[in-house]
Structure formats: C-alpha cells, structure tokens
C-alpha cells in the first residue's frame, strides 16, 4: 500500500542533527547565543540586509515591528484579503484595525489600485504579503507608500527564495518578517526573523524582544519599557544554521517540484503561481486556480485528493469571511479565488511517483 502524500514536510539531514547535538551539549553559559548570532549574520548575508533578528515566530516579529513603528489604537493598517491570519493578528494585538484590500487575480497579492483607494488619514502602514512565494508589485506599492509617507512592511513568511528586480523578497520594505515553521522552505521547527536596513528601527525591536532591556544597559535586569519575549532558542538556531547552509539546494528543489507540476498540468484549464519578468518565484506552495468555465472547484479537488490518500490544503480563506472580522463583500477577486483554488503537496524529497499521484488526482476531476 502506498504511503499518504503529505502536503509538506521539512528536509532534515545529518548536518542539522549534528548542529543541534552540539548546541544541546555545549550551547550554554557563554555559548548560549552562539548559534543564534551565527544564524542572524548568515541570514543578513543571504538576504542582503543590514540587520536580522531571530524570533520565536514570524507573527512575533511582525507584532514587534508594528509596536516599534508606533502603530496603536485608532490606527489602520492595510492587509491583503488573501493571507493567513498571522498577517492580521498583530495589527489587532496593537489595538489597530486591519483594513482588508482585494488582491490581483494573477499574483493573488495586494492590488495597488485598491490599496491607494483604501488609504485614509488613519492609515499607518501597508503590509505586503508575498503569498505562496508570489511577489507583490513592489514598484507600485513602494510608490504609493512613499507618496503617502507610510511604512511598507513585507510579510515574506512564504517567500524565501523569491526575488524582485534582483533583490531578495524581504529586503525592500521598511522591515520584513520571515517564518521558519516546519512547513516552510527552510525550518527551525517554529521560528521567524525580523529584518531591516534601518538601524534605529532594529534597535527598538531588539529592546522590545528582550523584555524592554536595551542592549548595552549596565544595570542588570533593568528594563526601560514593557517588552516581549519573542526570542529564538539556541537549539532552534542550530537547525537554522544547517538549513541556511543548504538553502540554495532547498530553494532549487522547491522550484523543481513546481516545474514538474507545471509541465504535467499545462494542458488543463487552470493557472499556477506566476513568475513575471523581473521576478524569481521561490514557489513555496505550488497552487492551482481552476478556470471558472471549467466548473471545477476546491471541494471537488479535496474529495479527489482524499480518495487517493493525498493531503489537500485549501487556499487561504478571505480574512473578512472569518467570524472575528467584518465582511468585505467588495473584495470579489479574493472570494472567487478561494472557491476555485487549492495548494498542491510540495516537499523537497517528493519523487516523481508522488507528483504523478497528485497530478492524476487533479486530472480525475477535470
């Protein structure tokens, strides 16, 4: 009997095991931050940014970034309608209001024209989410943000390996956040990263991350403000260091899996993650959007996957459709996408037999 095809899982080798073993045996006392600092410096170099800070989650990194920017009660933050709730929850945590804006039908990322229309005197930031590895229209969004003097935040949780105009996704905005959850292209189990080119902003977030204790403070256990505890552990960072060394191969394998799907599905009435001129897509999660005329939707695909013992992963629900938020019926592109879309299984050691099983399940519905 064939094994279940999972929608994703990490790639762990003896390198990760050896680094974690070393951290567990020796990473204490004077060496308690050794792997964390090594991970941060390596990530800075990979991304081409001045400052990176490892965190316990991408959500925590976004939360601290918003606090450091001064976003709070009465403010509004623009968030795309299609994304995981982790992009919006920190906005709520700081007391601000997430304003959900519709997405483009081809990239599934923020529609710049809708962003412009949604800006009010209360708008304090724009969160651009590079969903499923697809890259936002950063030129248009940056122009809007600059014109209105707003910070442009990149939620790059799903975009490791993606590039825009030769620059890594996450290296362009006021700050960016990354996720190293076990489902991501590279993992630390749980974990994230805050990155920025702004030294002053980095210092504020660094202080917030350590219960409000500023770096260089000579008074032991003296906080200057009420902060957070969103720090990554040395053990997690050890996994991250190993994954970072392997990152080119991890990204390349994600792209190979996507291309295998694309070749086998290109004759069907559906669209997949785009890679327009000037963009490199890290293809974290290969996804299909069935043509409306095909009559094929999410539920039929999920049933076909279940019948063949394959994990089905739904496209993100429009955030305004969730019970804790007000409905935004005007965001018609997002609601339509969610009904006709599904993510395909994608992990580094998928073989062609696994990919062919998924393709057969998709084809069976059409």
What is the per-residue pLDDT for 215?
86
Neighbours of 276 (CB within 10 A): 12
Task: For residue 342, give every residue at least 6 positions away whose Cβ sits within 8 Å of its Cβ, in sequence order, or none.
Answer: 287, 288, 298, 301, 302, 305, 312, 313, 314, 315
What are the phi and psi torsion angles at 111 (to 5°)?
-85, 110
Question: Is residue 135 within 8 Å of residue 103, measured between CB atoms?
Answer: no
Q: What is the pLDDT of residue 217?
A: 86
pLDDT, averaged per 10 consecutive residues of the chain (366 residues), comes to 87 98 97 97 98 98 98 98 98 98 98 98 98 98 98 98 97 98 97 98 96 89 93 97 98 98 98 97 98 95 97 95 97 96 96 97 96
Same-fold call for 14-101+108-245 versus 247-365: no
Which residues are within 8 A (CB) of 318 and not within 5 positions of it... i.e. 6 or more apart? 81, 82, 100, 328, 331, 334, 335, 338
Give residue 216's pLDDT. Answer: 85
Q: How high is the pLDDT of residue 44?
A: 98
What is d(CA 275, CA 13) in angstroms, rounded to the nearest whole number? 30
Architecture (CATH level 2) of domain 14-101+108-245: 3-Layer(aba) Sandwich (3.40)
Contacts of 55 (CB under 8 A, 6+ apart): 61, 64, 177, 191, 192, 193, 194, 209, 230, 231, 232
Count CB neighbours of 244 within 10 A.
21
Burial profile 72-101: b = 16 or more Cβ within 10 angstroms, e = fewer:
eeebbbbbbbbbbbbbbebbeebebbbbbb
Domain boundaries, the chain: 14-101+108-245, 247-365
CB 207 within 8 A of CB 214: yes
Q: Among the CATH numbers 1.20.120.1200, 3.30.300.30, 3.90.1150.10, 3.40.50.300, which is that of 247-365?
A: 3.90.1150.10
Give the dihedral of Cα atoms 89, 92, 94, 98; nearest 10 deg.
100
């Amino acid at each position: 009997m064939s094994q279940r095809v999972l929608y994703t899982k990490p790639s762990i080798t003896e390198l990760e095991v050896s680094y974690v073993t070393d951290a567990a045996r020796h990473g204490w006392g004077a060496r308690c931050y050794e792997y964390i600092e090594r991970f941060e410096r390596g990530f800075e170099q990979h991304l081409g940014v001045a400052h990176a800070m490892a965190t316990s989650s991408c959500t925590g990194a976004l939360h601290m970034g918003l606090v450091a920017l001064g976003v709070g009660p009465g403010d509004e933050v623009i968030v795309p309608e299609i994304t995981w709730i982790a992009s919006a929850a920190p906005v709520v945590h700081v007391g601000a209001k997430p304003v959900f804006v519709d997405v483009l039908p081809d990239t599934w990322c923020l529609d710049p024209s809708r962003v412009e229309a949604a800006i009010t005197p209360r708008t304090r930031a724009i969160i651009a989410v590079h969903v499923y590895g697809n890259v936002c229209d950063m030129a248009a969004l940056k122009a809007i943000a600059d014109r209105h003097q707003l910070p442009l935040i990149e939620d790059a949780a799903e975009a490791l390996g993606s590039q825009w105009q030769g620059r890594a996704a996450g290296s362009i905005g006021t700050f960016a956040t990354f996720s190293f959850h076990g489902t991501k292209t590279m993992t630390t189990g749980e974990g994230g990263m805050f990155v920025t080119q702004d030294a002053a902003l980095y210092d504020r977030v660094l202080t917030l991350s350590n219960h409000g204790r500023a770096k260089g403070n000579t008074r032991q256990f003296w906080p200057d403000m009420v902060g957070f505890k969103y720090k990554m552990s040395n053990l997690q960072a050890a996994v991250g260091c190993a994954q970072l060394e392997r990152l080119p191969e991890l990204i390349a394998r994600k792209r190979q899996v996507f291309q295998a799907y694309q070749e086998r599905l290109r004759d069907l009435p559906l669209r997949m993650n785009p890679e327009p001129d000037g963009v490199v897509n890290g293809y974290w999660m290969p996804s299909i959007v069935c043509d409306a005329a095909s009559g094929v939707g999410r539920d039929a695909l999920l049933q076909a996957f279940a019948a063949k013992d394959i994990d089905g992963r739904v496209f993100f629900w429009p955030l305004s459709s969730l019970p804790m938020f007000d409905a935004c019926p005007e965001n018609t592109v997002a609601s339509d996408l969610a009904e006709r879309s599904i993510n395909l299984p994608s992990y580094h050691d998928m073989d062609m037999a696994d990919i062919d099983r998924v393709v057969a399940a998709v084809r069976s519905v059409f």
